[in-house]
Chains A and B, each alone.
Chain A
Amino acid sequence: MITAERKPITEIEAMLNPFRRILVVGCGTCVAECAAGGEKEVALLSSALRMDARLKGRKIEVGEVTIDRQCVYEFINELTGFVDHYDAILSLGCGAGVQAVAGLFPKMPVLPGLNTKFIGETKETGLWIENCRACGDCKLGYFAGVCPLTRCAKGLLNGPCGGSKNGVCETNPDTPCAWQMIIDRLEGRGQIDLLQTIFPPVDWSKYEGKGPRKIEREDQRSGS
């Protein structure tokens, strides 16, 4: 999932300042899972914004709605008509959600209420960790399901670096050494020989440098 964190209220307030009728739109998927932009967070932020305005003597109206996914047209389309009452949308989706909503309502200012952080996993309640950089050339099969590009601080495909101590990374004692995890898992499976492979430098052209990436699947598309 995509993880995100709420922006500070002062920053949100500054963005919303020119507008009086604001619709706070949550997303019920990734950002709900990481407790940043789901229904609860929409209600909480809306309440805070209303009180903030009252304290400052500003008249505003804050509407609340949460759709299943802000990055899929069919769900965003549920807002059609409903948004007309408002001057601006504060999106609590990830960056993809904000842009998708803005794309459907080009006349409406759509502002980001969150800072999108990374692709990650819910490690435990209240803890999310980054574990994929979306490199476009997944090699997890060689690394026992631990991504060295993301989880090794140095992004080494031919690790370990030699600096890890007691299973933690030398750059940060809070971070488990990804290479220790890879080796432990491969040893446990009797597959340590997978590490005989020497990996060439990462082909970052699959990752960046040519504008936004896209995936096209003809079998999934409608029309001819």
Chain B
Amino acid sequence: MAQQKKGPVFAIFFCQQLDARQDINRRCLEKEFGSHIRFFPIPCSGRIEPLHLLKAIESGADMAYLLTCGEGDCRYGEGNIRAKKRVNYAQGLIEEIGLERKRIVLISKKIDAPVSIDILVREAIAGNDMLPIQWNGHNLQVDD
């Protein structure tokens, strides 16, 4: 993920059931945002784990989004309900370390018409008012 960043870096987790043309539709965003956007398709939003969201932030994202279908629309039953609870858990955890909850965002989209992932993501990014995270240092390797 981008290290020399001007604006925030976005990690977009999305349910693959949302948009049949997802690969084409996300490509224009990938071209436009370059290393500032990274997509993570998941077969059902219920497969998301808080760890995915935390790892995204730890490895450079300033915002992590999860795009799901609306409640009642999940083709596997209650994937998006589970997803909501896990997002909530991850938000609580980043809040405990002093990051804002709203760096992890759940976007549920009622599927009453074909959904285009690039439109959804553009709307989400347009609504973002968070700046890049101000890290105060690096961990990983400790010198003796």
Could you tell me if B137 and A44 are in contact, using CB atoms closer than 8 angstroms? no
Q: Which B-chain residue is minimally distant from A61 (CB atoms)?
A: B142
Q: Is B42 an interface residue (CB 8 A)?
A: no
* Cα–Cα distance between A47 and B142 once the two chains are bound (Å): 16
Could you tell me if A59 and B99 are in contact, using CB atoms closer than 8 angstroms? no
Could you tell me if A48 and B93 are in contact, using CB atoms closer than 8 angstroms? yes
Could you tell me if A51 and B138 are in contact, using CB atoms closer than 8 angstroms? no
Within 8 A of A (CB), among B95-116: 96-99
Q: Which B-chain residue is minimally distant from A45 (CB atoms)?
A: B93
Could you tell me if B57 and A54 are in contact, using CB atoms closer than 8 angstroms? no
Within 8 A of B (CB), among A115-133: none
- With contacts defined as CB atoms under 8 Å apart, how many contacts are there between chain A and chain B in the complex? 66
Could you tell me if A55 and B99 are in contact, using CB atoms closer than 8 angstroms? yes
Within 8 A of B (CB), among A41-55: 43-44, 47-48, 50-55
Q: Which B-chain residue is minimally distant from A43 (CB atoms)?
A: B51
Q: Is A140 an interface residue (CB 8 A)?
A: no
* Cα–Cα distance between A43 and B52 once the two chains are bound (Å): 10
**Closest Cβ–Cβ distance, residue A140 to chain B (whole Å):** 34
Residue in contact with A40 in the complex, picked from B49, B93, B141, CB distance below 8 Å: B49
Could you tell me if B49 and A57 are in contact, using CB atoms closer than 8 angstroms? no
Residues of chain B within 8 A of A210, CB atoms compared? none
Q: Is A221 an interface residue (CB 8 A)?
A: no
Q: Is B54 an interface residue (CB 8 A)?
A: yes
Residues of chain A within 8 A of B3, CB atoms compared? none
Q: Is B58 an interface residue (CB 8 A)?
A: yes
Could you tell me if A61 and B93 are in contact, using CB atoms closer than 8 angstroms? no
Interface size on A, residues (CB 8 A): 23
Residue in contact with B97 in the complex, picked from A9, A59, A61, CB distance below 8 Å: A9
Could you tell me if A62 and B139 are in contact, using CB atoms closer than 8 angstroms? yes
Could you tell me if A53 and B96 are in contact, using CB atoms closer than 8 angstroms? no
Q: Is B81 an interface residue (CB 8 A)?
A: no
Within 8 A of A (CB), among B105-144: 133-142
Q: A48-B93, A55-B134, A56-B98 are in contact. List 15 more A-B contacts (CB 8 A).
A: A8-B96, A43-B51, A44-B51, A47-B58, A48-B94, A51-B54, A51-B58, A51-B94, A52-B98, A55-B136, A57-B136, A57-B137, A61-B139, A61-B142, A62-B139
Binding site for B on A (CB under 8 A): 8-10, 20-21, 40, 43-44, 47-48, 50-62
Binding site for A on B (CB under 8 A): 49-51, 54-55, 57-58, 93-94, 96-99, 133-142
Closest 6 CB pairs of A and B: A57-B136, A52-B97, A9-B96, A57-B137, A61-B142, A47-B54
CB pairs A–B below 8 angstroms (30 shown)? A10-B96, A20-B142, A40-B49, A44-B54, A44-B93, A47-B51, A47-B54, A47-B58, A48-B97, A50-B140, A51-B54, A51-B58, A51-B94, A52-B97, A52-B98, A53-B137, A53-B139, A54-B135, A54-B137, A54-B138, A55-B134, A55-B135, A55-B136, A56-B137, A58-B137, A59-B139, A60-B142, A61-B139, A61-B140, A61-B141
